[in-house]
Amino acid sequence: MLHVNAPRLLADLAALARIGATPEGGVSRPALSPADLEGRAWFRRQVEAAGLTFHQDGAGNVSAILPAADPVARTLLCGSHLDSVPDGGRFDGALGTLAALEALRTIREAGLALPVHLEAIAFTDEEGELVGLLGSQALAGQLTQAGLDHPRGGRDKLLAGLARAGLSEASLLAARRDPAALRAFVELHIEQGTRLIDAGLDLGVVTAIVGIRSVWLTFTGQAAHAGTTPLTRRKDALWGAAEFIGRARDMVAAQFDPGVVNCGILHAEPGAFNIVPGRVRLALEFRHGSEATLDAMQTDLLALAAEVAARFSLSLAVEEASRAIAAPLDSGVIAALEAAAGRLGLSHTRLMSFAGHDTQVMSRITPAAMAFVPSVGGLSHNPAEFTPDEAVIHAADVLLHTLLILAG
Ligand SMILES: [Zn+2]
């Protein structure tokens, strides 16, 4: 059975972790920062040293390519990202990128002739220092000039990063790839949670990346004297909001598992010790991997808000703030990941991703899925992020065999 070269993969992870290294043991390689560019230059040297073809597109996505004999063959993509959040960890993105590179090196050295081009790609700005999922959106043809005009990291930072990397908005918008030329996309990533570690499992096969809905709820009652107004006569907007928060948690846990709900902002007005709150604005967010379930969650959560408002004699206003569509992943790529894990005798389970990944963008243009590798303590976006060597190697072997299965 074919296996990756474990010492070489671990040495790569250690070498990359020295680029942008922080005193706490993590890395800081925000997208298109000098440290990120240094990481990409290092990646290029590894690609060329391995006898693979290096490619960089107009979005700054960097790739290692192992071409098929047939020049018009489709491309089987795998990979992740090299950028990190500021003061992030050594495994987020790096593990998936370097495992992909290692899988290509292993297949090349084994002299296997596959009917697809293999490409190990590192997407630009997955973490959102500039735009978020920037490289994958560009490749998928989902960037617009309007989207670039108001990037979440600010216009100046985007333009400075592009200039540093020799890229432009025009090159970003031109980086679209023809979906017909792609066979599939597979990503390995650390779990960033504790489900795998807690269950003692080797691998999590991701069936969907959750959709996220954000809604402002405004409860309006009547501001009043906090001493002289009898409790029975109050229209306290915060009583309604507080009851909603507790019951929303219980409802989602009981009816929508593994969905989650969060109330992240609460503004009570007028806001004083001695005034009954007359108005409360509450930021409600909920996540699930199925759009149909998200619809049901929205219906039930808003009905709960209306019921609570009526009970406390409040009015309720609802305003949708944002919506990210759930991305169900491809059953064929999921089956290939599970077959590869089975072939290697590794334990695995199916789960949803509650964080965003490039795979959700790629899933719109090609069959795509991803697998999670255990994260000790579930820590991520943290210098203490850690995945044991053995788990890294097992996951890279799964990726290797998944590529062989998908290549046919
Ligand atoms: Zn990541």
Using the mean position of ligand 1's atoms as its centre, give its distance from the Cα of residue 85 in Å: 9
For the cut 90, the answer to whether the pLDDT of residue 389 exceeds it is: yes
Neighbouring residues of the ion ligand 1, judged by CB less than 5 Å = 92-93
Confidence of residue 322 (pLDDT cuts 50, 70, 90): confident
3-state secondary structure of 348: strand
d(CA 292, CA 180): 29
Residues 121, 79 contacting (CB under 8 angstroms): yes
For the cut 90, the answer to whether the pLDDT of residue 245 exceeds it is: yes
For the cut 90, the answer to whether the pLDDT of residue 229 exceeds it is: yes
In whole angstroms, how large is the CA radius of gyration of the chain? 24
3-state secondary structure of 115: coil
Using the mean position of ligand 1's atoms as its centre, give its distance from the Cα of residue 300 in Å: 32
Task: Kindly report whether the peptide bond that precedes residue 179 is cis, defined as omega within 30 degrees of 0.
Answer: no
Residues 203, 95 contacting (CB under 8 angstroms): no
Q: 243: alpha, beta or left, given left = phi > 0 and alpha = psi -120 to 50?
A: alpha
Query: Mean pLDDT for the chain?
Result: 97
Using the mean position of ligand 1's atoms as its centre, give its distance from the Cα of residue 126 in Å: 7
Using the mean position of ligand 1's atoms as its centre, give its distance from the Cα of residue 359 in Å: 10
Using the mean position of ligand 1's atoms as its centre, give its distance from the Cα of residue 267 in Å: 32
- Identify the pLDDT of residue 152: 85
Using the mean position of ligand 1's atoms as its centre, give its distance from the Cα of residue 243 in Å: 36
What six digits make up the tokens of 360? 């959700």
- Identify the pLDDT of residue 365: 98
Residues 29, 83 contacting (CB under 8 angstroms): yes
Using the mean position of ligand 1's atoms as its centre, give its distance from the Cα of residue 130 in Å: 15
Confidence of residue 242 (pLDDT cuts 50, 70, 90): very high
Using the mean position of ligand 1's atoms as its centre, give its distance from the Cα of residue 304 in Å: 35
Confidence of residue 323 (pLDDT cuts 50, 70, 90): confident
Residues 79, 123 contacting (CB under 8 angstroms): yes
187 DSSP β-pair partners: 370
Using the mean position of ligand 1's atoms as its centre, give its distance from the Cα of residue 64 in Å: 19
* Fold for the domain defined by 211-324: Alpha-Beta Plaits (3.30.70)
147-176 residue pLDDT tens = 899 888 899 999 999 999 999 999 999 999
Using the mean position of ligand 1's atoms as its centre, give its distance from the Cα of residue 299 in Å: 32
- Identify the pLDDT of residue 307: 98
Confidence of residue 318 (pLDDT cuts 50, 70, 90): very high
- CB burial string 374-386: b at 16+ within 10 A, e below: bbeebbbbbbebb
Confidence of residue 324 (pLDDT cuts 50, 70, 90): confident
d(CA 272, CA 267): 12
DSSP summary character for residue 378: G
In the chain, domain spans: 6-209+327-407, 211-324
* 363 Cβ contact partners less than 8 Å away, ≥ 6 residues apart: 185, 209, 327, 328, 329, 330, 369
- What average pLDDT does the segment 58-62 reach? 98
Using the mean position of ligand 1's atoms as its centre, give its distance from the Cα of residue 271 in Å: 39
Containing H/E element for 10? Answer: helix 6-17
User: Within a 10 A sphere around the Cβ of 199, how many other Cβ atoms?
Assistant: 12
Using the mean position of ligand 1's atoms as its centre, give its distance from the Cα of residue 84 in Å: 7
β-strands 62-66, 117-123 pairing: antiparallel
- What average pLDDT does the segment 351-374 reach? 96
Using the mean position of ligand 1's atoms as its centre, give its distance from the Cα of residue 251 in Å: 30
339 DSSP β-pair partners: none
At the top level of CATH, which class does the domain 6-209+327-407 belong to?
Answer: alpha beta
- Identify the pLDDT of residue 1: 94
Q: What is the pTM of this model?
A: 0.90
User: Within a 10 A sphere around the Cβ of 248, how many other Cβ atoms?
Assistant: 23
Confidence of residue 114 (pLDDT cuts 50, 70, 90): very high
Report the amino acid identity of residue 65: I
- Identify the pLDDT of residue 146: 86
Using the mean position of ligand 1's atoms as its centre, give its distance from the Cα of residue 71 in Å: 32
175-204 residue pLDDT tens = 999 999 999 999 999 999 999 999 999 999
Using the mean position of ligand 1's atoms as its centre, give its distance from the Cα of residue 127 in Å: 7
Using the mean position of ligand 1's atoms as its centre, give its distance from the Cα of residue 134 in Å: 13
Using the mean position of ligand 1's atoms as its centre, give its distance from the Cα of residue 66 in Å: 24
For the cut 90, the answer to whether the pLDDT of residue 254 exceeds it is: yes
User: Within a 10 A sphere around the Cβ of 319, how many other Cβ atoms?
Assistant: 10
d(CA 327, CA 331): 12
